[in-house]
A and B are shown apart, each in its own frame.
Chain A
């Protein structure tokens, strides 16, 4: 319990974690002109959102863009942090042609730079090319996105479920899947029946 009569001790400036985090984010930003020069037509839409560099790509451009930022000696984004996805179904401005956002986050270890790629996919055909040919570590991250959201990665070496059992039929992180499932958890035989 804090004593209300006593004022809270003022933290020294080194404990100003918010300011430090903001500086770290700004250090990670990439010069937009450099990206436009390297990516050309592939990166028409480059923004800085919440102090982070974001490139909006499409299904047609994402694979080539990742290849360039990985292989280019000046950019040198040699690490794939994560691949994940967002289901936009419950958004106010929802549109079936923008059902899923697939997000690739890449990081340059030598330059301390970070880029987020966002790719919108339609509800009826959620397909995107694999990043596993450029970043080997992408294979399992893509398996997880496939398992949870049902996004198919074209050219993936081994696109199987990674978390849910193989016989599972749904993609549970989709917003139209109920939180408590569709009865899969109650669907086992009792031990006496198996014996």
Chain B
């Protein structure tokens, strides 16, 4: 009954051949536990993404954990100041491997409009970022697309570092 009938090889002696990486990647990508490093309005948009209307649970990433030790996806959502950067570094280092990072929005990715003395001009200077989600703040659809790109990285369809930072034209 059910899923067994869909897979012919399970109907016989119940064996299926695959790669270990594929199985582990499949399990990991469908149970991402995000850690929301929310410091500004992007965090509000993250809440909208996680709750019922946009429902991040459809992609297995609804278990938001506020402990870095229980999560494997850090979503940096908002401005990071030079007073906050040591905190971000410590929390990032407390996350267990494997871990992935989404830089959500203009401020986390590039500093945004805040080109001022305390404002970090892109967290990727100090922590490795896998996916950048543009927007100010990004719409939930954009963040969901970012999570799907993280899933591509996890199950090997994309390389780490494949999604690069958006370039800003200096005038």
**Residue positions of A touching B, CB distance < 8 A:** 164-165, 172, 177-182, 184-186, 188-192, 194-195
Residues of B near A165 (CB, < 8 A) are 82-83
Query: Does chain A have a CB within 8 A of B156?
Result: no
Would A192 and B89 be within 8 Å (CB), given that A165-B83, A179-B117, A181-B117 are in contact?
no
Contact A189 B126 (CB under 8 A): yes
Q: Mark B109-151, 1 if CB is under 8 A from A, else 0.
A: 0000001111111000111100000000000000000000000
10 closest A-B pairs (Cβ-Cβ)?
A181-B117, A191-B127, A165-B83, A188-B126, A185-B82, A191-B92, A188-B85, A190-B126, A172-B117, A191-B89
CA–CA, A19 to B125, complex, Å?
52
Residues of A near B85 (CB, < 8 A) are 188
Question: With A172-B118, A194-B89 given, can you name 9 additional A-B contacts, CB distance below 8 Å?
Answer: A172-B117, A181-B116, A181-B117, A181-B118, A184-B117, A185-B82, A190-B125, A191-B92, A194-B93
Closest to A190 in B: B126
Q: Which of B116, B125, B128 contacts A186 (CB 8 A)?
A: B125
CA–CA, A179 to B125, complex, Å?
20
Q: How far is the CB of A177 from chain B (nearest CB, A)?
A: 7
CA–CA, A188 to B86, complex, Å?
8
6 A–B contacts, CB within 8 A, in A order: A164-B83, A185-B121, A186-B121, A186-B125, A189-B89, A194-B89
Contact B93 A177 (CB under 8 A): no
Residues of B near A179 (CB, < 8 A) are 115-117
Residues of B near A190 (CB, < 8 A) are 125-127
Residues of A near B126 (CB, < 8 A) are 188-191
CA–CA, A165 to B117, complex, Å?
13
Sorting the interface of chain B by its residue count into under 10, 10 to 19, 20 to 34 or 35 or more gives: 10 to 19
Contact B92 A185 (CB under 8 A): no
CB within 8 Å of A: which of B5-19? none
CA–CA, A102 to B126, complex, Å?
39
Contact B120 A185 (CB under 8 A): yes
Interface hub of A172, A185, A191 (most chain B Cβ within 10 A): A185
Q: Mark B73-105, 1 if CB is under 8 A from A, else 0.
A: 000000000110110010011000000000000
CA–CA, A79 to B157, complex, Å?
64
CA–CA, A194 to B85, complex, Å?
13
Closest to A177 in B: B117
Contact A184 B128 (CB under 8 A): no
CB within 8 Å of A: which of B21-62? none
CA–CA, A178 to B115, complex, Å?
11
Residues of B near A172 (CB, < 8 A) are 117-118
Residues of B near A184 (CB, < 8 A) are 82, 117-118
Closest to B119 in A: A185
